Amino acid sequence: MWFVHELTSWSSDTADPEQFPYDPVLAEFHRAGKHFVKKELLALLDQVRAQVNARTAVARQLSAFLDVALDKWDDRYDYRSYLALPLLPLPTAAACAGRPEGTPADATPAGGPAGRSGAGRPAGPVAQTSGRRERDRLLIDLVADALAFELAAATGATDLFPEQRPGPALVAKRYRLGVRAVRAALTRLGLAGLVDDPDPVAAAVALHRLAGTGRDPARERVLRLSMLPVYVSHDEYLFIRVLQAYECVFAGVAEELRGTITALATARPRRAAARLAYAQELISGTGPLFSLLATMQPTAFRTFREYTDGASAIQSRSYKLMESLCRPPAPDRFDSTAYRSVPEVRDLVRAGQPSIDQAYRTAVRDGLLRGTDHALVRQRMAAFAEAVLTWRRTHHRLAVRMLGARSGTGYTEGTPYLAAVRADPVFTTVSADPGLPRTDPIGGCSE
């Protein structure tokens, strides 16, 4: 067990976070799956964690990694630790309160700067553009890495997570859908023309190379450290990367909704409409991610799901933040398991976090929204609401396909819960636009 020698040597030497032996630790986690890692290694990592003084960015990253790796050991395993979200440079509920998740007020996120301005302060055009570009880059990194794993497994270049390998036809479908899932982000970055080969394999290779071009070592390390499956099933790699991609999108939508609220409160209806339109584009653009996720083999999903009990998307902070920025949750929703699982978001709501519903009402009351500007904002709110409802319906259908009547892993009833909340109004002031086309990215038909 060479990781024992590596860890003890590191601990007895300088214990420099920059020199931490990530490779042997990751190799053992990948060999067995997080759920089956030997207790000897977990105990050593727990001792190491006590030595880490998280005063530098590198030390904070090590501390975050150890917390993610030891979540089951600590009996605090959940959705965020399963997806290694504290390691990804995402704005979160904690960031809304003025700091990135899991860091002190004067710290930087473990994965690096998230490219956003402080909470409560409207981001300027440069900061707004930078934040959007960084989230697009992260989305591309995550999906490209998922396809890189598929390429490596298909060519025998890796023996990681060997159980239940998919066949060639399914892998080719993943290449095609993965490239499609990031097409909009590539277009926004002006890079779509670099990944346009009609051959799925060539397109996946081009995407992987493009994503890696100019990627600094810090971003490379974030990708490596944020992949800690619970088992050795091939499809869990795809599952984790797609869910991380969704969190990236939700975080971006939340930023756009905050910008919308600020614009409405400062009599800038055109900017509010533009931020809503961009938020709708982000949510609508997740359809191909659902298609990609739907290529998971149900038997593989059910296999690794046996070891994910305690982690569920119901615990997503970014999604609840997005939801609560649209309108304050009703009392029964606020007191539900869904919100009790995200105490940081509950604290924001209790503290009077503004919402689009409230900002819209106030703008109308104060005469800040009139005529064509008022109509435009209503139209964009309705279109955004329909995009969110479409996302919920698709999520429910995919869950039914994969889970059937099985209960959820986050101590919920599973698909019945999704069915119960899928039609909840996004806003109370404006209804969804029923005239928009309803596409089904996983079934190929409209609803």
Would residue 52 be called left, alpha or beta, if left means φ above 0 and alpha means ψ between -120 and 50 degrees?
Answer: beta
pLDDT tens-digit readout, 191-240:
999 999 999 999 999 999 999 998 999 999 999 999 999 999 999 999 99
Its pTM surpasses 0.85: yes
419 against 50, higher pLDDT: 50
Which pair of tokens denotes residue 49? 């964690």
Which pair of tokens denotes residue 302? 């059910």
List residues bridging with 172 in a β-sheet.
Answer: none
What secondary structure letter does DSSP report for 410?
Answer: T
Q: Torsions phi, psi of 365, nearest 5?
A: -60, -40
Alpha carbon 333 to its chain centroid, in Å, reads 22
pLDDT of 146 above 60: yes
Neighbouring residues of 352: CB distance < 8 A, sequence distance ≥ 6: none
Quickly list DSSP for 351-371. Answer: TT---HHHHHHHHHHTT-S-H
Rg of the chain, C-alpha, whole Å: 22
pLDDT of 438 above 70: no
Question: What are the C-alpha distances in Å from 316 to residues 93, 117, 128, 342, 375?
Answer: 10, 22, 23, 7, 33
pLDDT tens-digit readout, 113-143:
333 333 444 446 777 888 899 999 999 999 9
Which pair of tokens denotes residue 303? 């296999």
pLDDT tens-digit readout, 358-367:
999 999 999 9
Helices (H), 155-233: 168-181, 183-188, 200-212, 217-225
Computed over every residue of the chain, the mean pLDDT equals 87
Alpha carbon 221 to its chain centroid, in Å, reads 18
What pLDDT was estimated at residue 120?
43
Contact predicate 261/356, CB 8 Å: yes
What secondary structure letter does DSSP report for 108?
Answer: -
Which pair of tokens denotes residue 347? 């604290």
Q: Can you list the positions of beta strands (E) in 315-435?
A: none
Which pair of tokens denotes residue 145? 């890495």
3-class secondary-structure state, position 95 = helix
Distance CA 294, CA 395 (A): 10
Which pair of tokens denotes residue 88? 């990804």
Q: Torsions phi, psi of 23, nearest 5?
A: -55, -55
Q: How confident is the model at residue 96 (pLDDT cuts 50, 70, 90)?
A: very low
Distance CA 435, CA 383 (A): 9
What pLDDT was estimated at residue 398?
83
pLDDT of 1 above 70: no
Sign of CA dihedral 310, 311, 314, 317: positive
Reduce the secondary structure of 146-167 to three states and give it as a string: HHHHHHHHHCCCCCCCCECCCC
